[in-house]
Structure 1
Amino acid sequence: MNASDRTPADLLRSALAADAARPLVTFYDDATGERVELSVATFANWVAKTANLIQGELSAGPGDRVSLLLPAHWQTAVWLLACSSVGVTVELGGDPAGADVVVAGPETLEAGLACSGERIALSLAPLGRRFPAAPAGYADYAVEVPSQGDRFAPFVPVDPDAPALVVGGVERSGVELVAQARVDAASLGLAPGSRLLSGLGYGDWTGVSTGLYAPLAAGGSVVLCRNLDRLAPEAFEKRVESERVTDTAL
């Protein structure tokens, strides 16, 4: 990736320029049997649409805070990069009462109602399906995002030194996040083309770094696995082989 990259959004742009067709995020949910693979280009398209939703429909921008009450999931990864693209501060598991926007999954809808601002619900169902009906107090992400634009430009340039991510009680700017992701990538032995399988959650920096930022910073890709404890050992070994995994974080 480029040494001049200073935000996660910069890392994604560099990945697009290097090889837009290669896989970036492959997601498994071993509770449902779901498998989703997103190339750099497809992932970036989801990020652009979500960033347009955040900026245009939710009227959020630099200085605002988005609370993500979501597990490790490919759509969570999209929201993390979309928030970086807009310049809002994203808090993984953050207090919804203090957030300008809350993004909740099926298991956190009640908690998210503490947010007095905009609320978005994700079904986290296979294929990104919508809810049968939008949960009370929420807009359905799967309904709102498809009509958003495929290209994104922030109204205000993103400040790399502004708070970008809060996870595990630690706040990092875009510059700090990218620097730490590079350190993590080196410690994991990641390089361009590396394929890291992560079974860790997004509840702390280690999980979100191995499950997104470190592979992105290295020019590699991630196989993100939810409910991995439900997978039999022989099936796990088969996945490692079939997905051409080079490194694991379990």
Structure 2
Amino acid sequence: MTLTATLLDPILKANPARPLITFYDDATGERIELSAVTTANWAAKTANMLRDECDVETGTSVAVLLPAHWQTAAVLLGAWWCGAHVVADPADAEWILCDADRLDLALAAAPSGGVVALSLDAFGKGLTGLPDGVVDYATEVRQHGDDFVPWEPVPDTAPALGDLSVADTAAAALRRAGELDITAGDRVLSMAEWSSLDGVVDGLLSVLAVGSSLVQCRNPDMGKVIARAAAEKCTRRL
């Protein structure tokens, strides 16, 4: 199976309606809660867009220059559903997905495929004034379907995250969940960044690998952390 199917299928079978990712941005007051099935739908839309518009397939190298955000989770899961290889260095990527703050960095890398830019807007507003050839994620992704089926199987040995294969990435996520003491019944409050490949494993994949749920805080107001943990019934903190 793809890495995305490996992570999401058990969660969807167990309880598709339960909250899987709850996202806060204390700088904007934003709170968005995604169930397992809604997370899967966003990942599927992203996978369909990447395959149909960007020709992303097994082994295509992709760099993700995005903060820890619910849309970043959709991007990563969508990319892996296509069989993409997520790399750390944008210079090594055929496609780069980035936010507006890192658009210049993405363009300077001159990826052979192109650049997809995300506004990360809570209401789905796209970016304006983008250079020719840059794909606006918010505009394009909504045109694609909520279900995704790969055209061909993605081997367990295909590269998925840095030097790790699909199988190795899934194993690393399970191992880190054990080391971080995250279990299936946990609700994990996290302020961790996903700016490195290790950060993605610890902050996102370890939670999904054991079927836990994530409360991710961006620009955290530390004065709200204790009350938020209680309100969200969190049992672990990263």
Q: Is the 8 A contact 2:6 2:170 kept in 1?
A: no
Corresponding position: 1:162 with 2:151: no
Corresponding position: 1:102 with 2:91: no
Gaps of 5+ in 2: none
Counterpart AA for 1:246? T
Match of 2:190?
A: 198
CA distance in 2, matches of 1:159, 1:67: 20
TM-score (norm 2): 0.93
Corresponding position: 1:46 with 2:38: no
CA distance in 1, matches of 2:208, 2:48: 22
> How far has the Cα of 1:232 moved from its partner?
3.7
> How far has the Cα of 1:136 moved from its partner?
4.4
Per-residue deviation, residues 118-173 of structure 1 (Å, max 9, x unmatched): 2211011223321244454411101001110111111121111111012xxxx211
One of 5, 9, 34 as aligned partner of 1:13: 9
Match of 2:81?
A: 85
Match of 1:31?
A: 27
Q: Is the 8 A contact 2:2 2:83 kept in 1?
A: no
What are the equivalent positions in structure 2 for 1:136-155 lying under 5 Å apart? 136-155=132-151
Q: Is the 8 A contact 1:8 1:174 kept in 2?
A: no
Q: Is the 8 A contact 1:6 1:178 kept in 2?
A: no
Gaps of 5+ in 1: none
Per the alignment, do residues 25 and 152 of structure 1 end up closer, same or farther by CA in structure 2, a change over 3 Å counting? same
> How far has the Cα of 1:205 moved from its partner?
4.1
CA distance in 1, matches of 2:62, 2:9: 22
> How far has the Cα of 1:6 moved from its partner?
7.1
Match of 1:236?
A: 225
Corresponding position: 1:179 with 2:182: no
> How far has the Cα of 1:200 moved from its partner?
1.0
Please state whether the residue corresponding to 1:128 is helix, strand or coil.
Answer: coil
Match of 1:69?
A: 65
Q: Is the 8 A contact 1:121 1:135 kept in 2?
A: no
Per the alignment, do residues 29 and 110 of structure 1 end up closer, same or farther by CA in structure 2, a change over 3 Å counting? same
> How far has the Cα of 1:98 moved from its partner?
3.1
Corresponding position: 1:245 with 2:234: yes
Corresponding position: 1:129 with 2:95: no
Per the alignment, do residues 205 and 119 of structure 1 end up closer, same or farther by CA in structure 2, a change over 3 Å counting? closer
Please state whether the residue corresponding to 2:234 is helix, strand or coil.
Answer: coil
Q: Is the 8 A contact 1:101 1:118 kept in 2?
A: yes
> How far has the Cα of 1:206 moved from its partner?
4.2
CA distance in 1, matches of 2:55, 2:198: 31
Per-residue deviation, residues 70-123 of structure 1 (Å, max 9, x unmatched): 11111111111111111010124x22x432211110111011112232221101
Identify which range, 127-136 or 71-80, moves more after superposition: 127-136
Output the aligned Cα RMSD.
1.7
CA distance in 2, matches of 1:145, 1:6: 21
CA distance in 1, matches of 2:133, 2:101: 15
TM-score (norm 1): 0.89
